[in-house]
């Protein structure tokens, strides 16, 4: 009998021990991924060897020791702008930023298994860019909402170019009854909206929802009962935020329905959500010299919003992640896709932060002892089913329409460029700038966002056979200041020229009809231009140029072509290569 009891006891305790030996390493792995992210992967093989030979008590001691001595630099010892890796790491993890480029004023939604986000574009055309992802980490450019900025104002046309730092500001994207809806504000003209059945377009012509200056950061809300709402901030009147009812088509605000739901210095970035029957109003505000994320909630969309919670700290050292969209990931966990609101030469770049629900509040990032979130630099990907993808950049101009990575500086003069006059080339026809020899007042400059990565290399190949007297064409960087390297023609003579808003340097004569211009920069944003006449040997030319932040935008890379004395001459761009 005693032997039987011992045998039974051994079986029971042996089973429990075996269960612990399986369970505890699993718990350790889960917690280590949660707290260490990428750092765990670097030591996982060693840990696995150790864990397999541990007794359970030893394993628990190591677990406790590991969590009590977590290598905090995995999240907190990063210095802004010094990341050596970003986005999808190819091993089931990602590193922030996921988009080290100027994707400002983000909003994000999920539609089925797809994620769509929008980003403000200010004076660039087409306006309000849409990007797409399957996993919230890998993003490509889908298209734009606004095909013609003249729908907003003539000030955004090439004839005036008078909206630097203004134009299309933050907005929101939503999906309702088979349609995509995008709403946004411009500080001078008011609120606008458009709809489409396909986010790639075509989008309906813009409709002005509210024609009044001084408003920003709006968001629609489509309630379960079919009633449509709209929230927006009157920043010109002490940042008062109002809730409106809308007409069923979502095109008109019912003015006598407006309710004041928030006010306070710098309160903007409004979003409305309904989660598990509770209405949440997301916003950011400014206190003690920095912007951070807040939320208020109510059982009714009209309020009162009596409960309020701070979701993240200011984090000036990480350029203040503070405006974006809350979304459920493919792993059924929640995430916050956000820009970093303090801009630098790369603009307001984008990160993906895990969200942890605490007492019904979506805390953004690592939850501190105070219950408020902080920046997370490394984490497990929401899904491992999709390949690494990055926004489009290079172009051989073989299509009959411009690729979606391109945006004109202001609305283009359409008869002065073509992709069909010489198939396989982009033809840019020169015309006089609004201000002589000023890149920022020269129409039809074609641009892309710059990335802040270890190494960026851009090469543009141009055929300059069609250049004439007074014409300039080449490669440029600009924000509020600019630097450009290209060919200048005076009479029949062509010379290389480096020009900024402060100086000009004349270079060697260009004899042939082909020229290659290159710009190379790294994490420090210091660009060195060079040129070639054969596409193989490049010679540095011009001063090193520091890319800069200006007009709420990061520095752009672009192709310019203008003529200071006549509407005459052209170049044919054969290829634009951007490796980042």
Residue environment code for 515-538, b if the CB has 16+ CB neighbours within 10 A, otherwise e: bbbbbbbebebebbbbbbbeeeeb
Structure tokens at 235: 């920043």
Q: Is the peptide bond before 309 cis (omega within 30 degrees of 0)?
A: no
In this prediction, residue 50 has a pLDDT band, given cuts at 50, 70 and 90, of very low
**Higher pLDDT pick, 62 / 549:** 549
In this prediction, residue 75 has a pLDDT band, given cuts at 50, 70 and 90, of low
pLDDT at residue 456 is higher than 90: yes
pLDDT tens for each residue of 521-567 = 999 999 999 999 999 999 999 999 999 999 999 999 999 999 999 99
pLDDT tens for each residue of 92-108 = 999 999 999 999 999 99
Residue-level pLDDT at 33: 40
pLDDT at residue 64 is higher than 70: no
Let me know the angle formed at the C-alpha of 499 by 497 and 505, rounded to the nearest 5 degrees: 55
What one-character DSSP code corresponds to residue 547?
-
Nearest-CA neighbor of 556 among 500, 479, 485? 479
Q: Can you tell me whether residue 83 is helix, strand or coil?
A: coil
pLDDT tens for each residue of 117-156 = 999 999 999 999 999 999 999 999 999 999 999 999 999 9
CA–chain centroid gap for 296, Å, is 26
Say how far apart CA 154 and CA 161 lie, in whole Å: 9
One-character DSSP codes across 201-261: SPPPPPEEEE--SSEEEEEEEE-TTS-EEEEEEEGGGTTEEEEEEE-TTS--EEEEEEEEE
Beta strand 570-579 with 545-546: parallel, antiparallel or unpaired?
unpaired
Taking the model in full, what pTM does it have?
Answer: 0.88
Nearest-CA neighbor of 284 among 273, 274, 275, 295? 295
Q: Residue with structure tokens 């929230």?
A: 231
Beta strand 179-186 with 171-176: parallel, antiparallel or unpaired?
antiparallel
Do the Cβ atoms of 154 and 160 come closer than 8 Å? yes
Let me know the angle formed at the C-alpha of 233 by 227 and 237, rounded to the nearest 5 degrees: 135
Structure tokens at 456: 């960026």
Which residues are bridge partners to 328 per DSSP? 334
**Higher pLDDT pick, 10 / 536:** 536
CA–chain centroid gap for 324, Å, is 10
Alpha helices, DSSP H, located in 37-102? 38-52, 56-68, 73-76
Q: Residue with structure tokens 């970003």?
A: 86
Of the CA atoms within 13 Å of residue 303, those in its CB half-sphere come to 17
Say how far apart CA 500 and CA 518 lie, in whole Å: 16
Say how far apart CA 139 and CA 445 lie, in whole Å: 25
Q: Is the peptide bond before 126 cis (omega within 30 degrees of 0)?
A: yes
**Higher pLDDT pick, 517 / 19:** 517
Instruction: Please report, for residues 133, 138, 384, 393, 496, the alpha-carbon distance to residue 387 in angstroms, rounded to integers and kept in the order given.
Output: 11, 8, 8, 18, 42
Say how far apart CA 44 and CA 337 lie, in whole Å: 28
Residue-level pLDDT at 105: 98
Strand order in the sheet with 127-133: 107-111, 114-119, 127-133, 140-146
Residue-level pLDDT at 288: 84
Structure tokens at 565: 């004395």
Residue-level pLDDT at 56: 39
Q: At what angle do helices 2-36 and 38-52 cross, to 10 degrees?
A: 160
pLDDT at residue 258 is higher than 80: yes
pLDDT tens for each residue of 202-230 = 999 999 999 999 999 999 999 999 999 99
In this prediction, residue 8 has a pLDDT band, given cuts at 50, 70 and 90, of very low
Residue-level pLDDT at 77: 74
Residue environment code for 148-180, b if the CB has 16+ CB neighbours within 10 A, otherwise e: bbbbbbebbbbeebbbbebbbbbbbbbbeeeeb
In this prediction, residue 76 has a pLDDT band, given cuts at 50, 70 and 90, of low
Structure tokens at 29: 């792995």
pLDDT at residue 26 is higher than 80: no
Nearest-CA neighbor of 224 among 307, 116, 300? 300
Nearest-CA neighbor of 309 among 238, 357, 378? 357
**Average pLDDT in the chain:** 90
Q: Three-state SS across 453-502? A: CCCEEEEEEEECCCCCCCEEEEEEEECCCEEEEEEEEECCEEEEEEEECC
Let me know the angle formed at the C-alpha of 481 by 476 and 486, rounded to the nearest 5 degrees: 25
In this prediction, residue 78 has a pLDDT band, given cuts at 50, 70 and 90, of confident
Of the CA atoms within 13 Å of residue 288, those in its CB half-sphere come to 5
197, containing H or E segment: none
pLDDT at residue 572 is higher than 90: yes
Query: Which whole number is the average pLDDT over 262-281?
Result: 97
317, containing H or E segment: none
Q: Annotated active-site positions, please?
A: 105, 268
Residue-level pLDDT at 544: 98
Give φ, ψ of 400 to 5 degrees: -90, -5
pLDDT tens for each residue of 321-379 = 999 999 999 999 999 999 999 999 999 999 999 999 999 999 999 999 999 999 999 99
In this prediction, residue 35 has a pLDDT band, given cuts at 50, 70 and 90, of very low
Neighbours of 55 (CB within 10 A): 11
Say how far apart CA 220 and CA 176 lie, in whole Å: 11
Residue-level pLDDT at 5: 40
CA–chain centroid gap for 127, Å, is 14
């Amino acid at each position: 009998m005693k032997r039987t009891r011992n045998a039974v006891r051994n079986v029971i305790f042996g089973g429990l021990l075996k269960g612990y030996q399986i369970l505890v390493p699993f718990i350790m792995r889960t917690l280590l991924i949660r707290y260490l992210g990428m750092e765990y992967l670097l030591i996982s093989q060693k840990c696995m060897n150790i864990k397999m030979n541990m007794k359970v008590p030893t394993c628990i001691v190591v677990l406790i020791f590991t969590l009590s001595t977590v290598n905090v630099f995995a999240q907190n010892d990063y210095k802004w702008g010094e990341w050596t890796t970003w986005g999808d790491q190819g091993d089931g993890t990602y590193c922030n930023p996921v988009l080290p480029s100027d994707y400002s004023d983000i909003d994000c939604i999920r539609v089925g298994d797809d994620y769509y986000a929008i980003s403000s574009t200010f004076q660039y055309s087409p306006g309000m860019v849409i990007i797409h992802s399957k996993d919230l980490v890998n993003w490509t450019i889908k298209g734009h909402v606004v095909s013609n900025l003249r729908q907003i104002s003539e000030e955004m046309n090439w004839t005036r170019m008078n909206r630097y730092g203004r134009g299309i500001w933050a907005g929101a994207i939503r999906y309702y009854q088979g349609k995509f809806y995008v709403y946004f504000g411009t500080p001078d003209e008011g609120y606008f909206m458009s709809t489409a059945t396909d986010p790639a377009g075509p989008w309906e012509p813009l409709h002005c929802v509210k024609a009044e200056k001084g408003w920003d950061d709006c968001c629609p809300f489509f309630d379960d009962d079919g009633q449509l709402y709209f929230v927006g901030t009157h920043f010109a009147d002490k940042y008062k935020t109002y809730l409106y009812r809308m007409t069923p088509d979502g095109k008109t605000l019912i003015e006598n329905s407006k309710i004041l739901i928030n006010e306070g210095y710098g309160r903007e970035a409004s979003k409305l959500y309904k989660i598990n029957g509770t209405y949440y109003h997301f916003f950011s505000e400014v206190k003690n010299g920095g912007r951070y994320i807040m939320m208020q909630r109510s059982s009714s969309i009209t309020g009162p919003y009596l409960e309020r919670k701070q979701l993240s700290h200011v984090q000036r050292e990480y350029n203040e992640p503070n405006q974006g969209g809350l979304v459920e990931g493919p792993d059924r966990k929640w995430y916050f896709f956000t820009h970093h609101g303090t801009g630098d030469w790369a603009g307001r770049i984008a990160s993906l932060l895990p969200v942890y629900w605490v007492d019904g509040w979506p805390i953004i990032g690592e939850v501190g002892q105070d219950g408020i979130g902080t920046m997370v630099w490394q984490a497990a990907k929401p899904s491992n089913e999709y390949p690494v993808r990055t926004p489009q950049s290079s172009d051989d101009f073989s299509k009959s329409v411009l690729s979606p990575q391109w945006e004109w500086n202001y609305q283009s003069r359409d008869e002065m460029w073509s992709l069909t006059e010489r198939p396989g080339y982009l033809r840019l026809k020169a015309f006089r700038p609004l201000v002589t020899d000023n890149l920022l007042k020269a129409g039809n400059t074609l641009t892309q966002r710059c990335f802040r990565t270890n190494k960026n290399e851009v090469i543009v190949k141009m055929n300059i056979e069609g250049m004439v007297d007074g014409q300039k064409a080449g490669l440029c960087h600009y924000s509020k200041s600019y630097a450009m390297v290209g060919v200048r023609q005076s009479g029949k003579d062509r010379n290389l020229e480096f020009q900024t808003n402060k100086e000009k340097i004349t270079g060697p004569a260009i004899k042939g009809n082909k020229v290659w211009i290159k710009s190379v920069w790294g994490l420090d944003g210091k660009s060195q231009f060079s040129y070639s006449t054969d596409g193989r040997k490049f010679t540095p030319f011009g001063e090193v140029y520091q890319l800069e932040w200006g007009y709420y935008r990061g520095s752009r890379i672009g192709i310019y072509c203008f003529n200071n004395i006549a509407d005459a001459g052209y170049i044919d761009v054969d290829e634009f290569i951007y490796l980042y």
